[in-house]
């Protein structure tokens, strides 16, 4: 059973460009979470999604950031008009559906390291 997959692993963008980060959850998992890790800091929650629904986006910046988890395909975290402060590691996690064992446990992907020049 493959783990959570994220691509690209590394992404370089110039200021003003768009960044698209992809996350494929573990097989059978229907919940996806995005976290951001700034250098020398812990992870900060951004958004929690289920298929075609945003459940909690309380950690998302109000502007330039959006996330989706379509019925088919990976979850996408999109950052428009990137700025240098967006440089960070972005981690995706997934968990099983509610009601199944270990539904509260999140399994993390390897992350996408975004560098904005």
Partner 1 sequence: AQSVTQLGSHVSVSEGALVLLRCNYSSSVPPYLFWYVQYPNQGLQLLLKYTSAATLVKGINDFEAEFKKSETSFHLTKPSAHMSDAAEYFCAVCVDTGRRALTFGSGTRLQVQP
Nearer of residues 17 and 22 to partner 1, judged by Cβ: 22
| CB of 43 vs partner 1, minimal distance in Å | 5
Distance in Å, CB of 98 to partner 1, minimum: 8
**Any residues with CB less than 8 A from the CB of 72 and at least 6 apart, and which?**
none
Residues near partner 1 (CB under 8 A) are: 4, 6, 31, 33, 35, 41-45, 48, 55-56, 58-59, 91, 93, 95, 98, 103-111, 113
The Cα 73–Cα 117 span in angstroms is 29
Integer Cα distance of 104 and 46 in angstroms: 17
At residue 88, φ and ψ (nearest 5 deg) are -175, 175
Residue 5 CB, nearest approach to partner 1 (Å): 10
């Amino acid at each position: 059973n493959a783990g959570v997959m994220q691509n690209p692993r590394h992404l370089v963008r110039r200021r003003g460009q768009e960044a698209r980060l992809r996350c494929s959850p573990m097989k059978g998992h229907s919940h996806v979470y995005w976290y951001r890790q700034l250098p020398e800091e812990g992870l900060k929650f951004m958004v929690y999604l289920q298929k075609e629904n945003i459940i909690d986006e309380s950690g998302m910046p109000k502007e330039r950031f959006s996330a989706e988890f379509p019925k088919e395909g990976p979850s996408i975290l999109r950052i428009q008009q990137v700025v240098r402060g967006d440089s960070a590691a972005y981690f995706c996690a997934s968990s099983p559906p509610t009601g199944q064992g270990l539904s509260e446990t999140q399994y993390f992907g390897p992350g996408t390291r975004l560098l904005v020049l």
